[in-house]
Amino acid sequence: MKKYLNWVLAAILICGSTLSTFALPKVHVIATGGTIAGTSSGSGYDAGQVSIEDILAAVPELNDYAELDYEQFCNIGSQDMDEHIWLLLAKRINQVLLDDSYDAVVVTHGTDTMEETAYFLNLTTHSPKPIVLVGSMRPSDSPEADGPKNLVLAVKTAVDPESTGKEVMCCLGEKIFEAGSVFKNDSHAIDAYAAITPDYYMPHDDNTGFDISKIESLPQVGIIYGYGGCSTLPLQAFMEADFDGVVLAGVGGGNFYAPVQELAEQAVAKGMKIVRSTRCPYGGVYTEGGEVDDLQLGFIAAGCLNPQKARILLMLALTETNDTDRIREYFNQAITTELSRIRRAQSQMNAFKTLHNGEILIQAGDKTYNISGIEQRKGY
């Protein structure tokens, strides 16, 4: 009898060990609202109406991939997302990911400003664990709601071991994008997101980004959109309001109507930081090779960053320094971080280097990187 009981006990221990071996990853879902939590209303819809509990209950397939718990952080349309919420959200995510029991975080979010939240979180969260933002273009009660499929992909991506150490990710249109490259290029399409080729790649981990743990508010930075005959009134208003910085969303390579540029030079002389970006989705703005002498005039070139992301980086940079040259360094990370990406490709994807017509090429998987003269890179 005693021998029989020992066998039973051994079987229980083995089963318990097997079950623990196959335990699902644990994901914390943080809900902020958006169309994915929206409901139809008249000829349109209202964002941020459905609780995260109901959203998750409507997608039981999620339980096949992860053990989920959740919190309703806020429930707003993402047009109402702001710096105060970003700070609180980043602090909360940092807190969650310090808990060893969690493997990843998924954030439900509206699509209008998801790229901004993702970029902010990428610069202010400090864990290699995956962070995935997910949204939808149709409300939750639509007959063709896209939220459930996006949510499944977001959770599957969050628990994928390959996601560890990447940038904050965004999921829309059943596709995954990274924070540094994603932008919204369509106001209504299901696959509303596209991506640029970024100057740099910066995974969020213990040694990157900005420490916002003790920050309660961010410096004031505005954006001015350029156009033919652009008025100086917006910049005058920002100057009178003592804003710390302004991003000029210029035409072409970051150019501005002459009276605006002249006033921007005066703003720099008074201590305001001026960053030149572009209203063009591709191409970027660089110090060399353009019509504006940033170094002489005291401006800062945004590189590949669109105006909304350049604003975020300037706000965070100003929490650490007011020195223009140091701030330029934050916008000038393309060289070191792109080389870092290539070196990572070499080690992880069995890359090999070749010399082709005098150019140095790195082959990594199905991608080829030309690193000839990368120190002088200005654009794409």
Active-site residue among 21, 32, 35, 232?
Answer: 35
Report the alpha-carbon distance of residue 20 to residue 22 in Å, rounded: 5
Residue closest to 152 by CA, chosen among 74, 64, 69 = 64
Whether residue 75 contacts residue 43, with contact meaning beta carbons closer than 8 Å, is answered with: no
Nearest to 25 by CA among 87, 83, 67, 78: 67
Taking the CA atoms of 275, 276, 280 and 285 in sequence, report the sign of the dihedral they define. Answer: negative
To the query of whether residue 21 is one of the catalytic residues in this protein, the response is no
Report, in angstroms and rounded to the nearest whole number, the Rg of the chain calculated over CA atoms.
Answer: 24
Distant-in-sequence, close-in-space partners of 63: CB < 8 Å, separation ≥ 6 = none
Question: Residue 17: how many CB atoms within 10 A of its CB?
Answer: 9
CA 245, distance to chain mean position in Å, is 21
- For the annotated catalytic residues, the residue numbers are 35
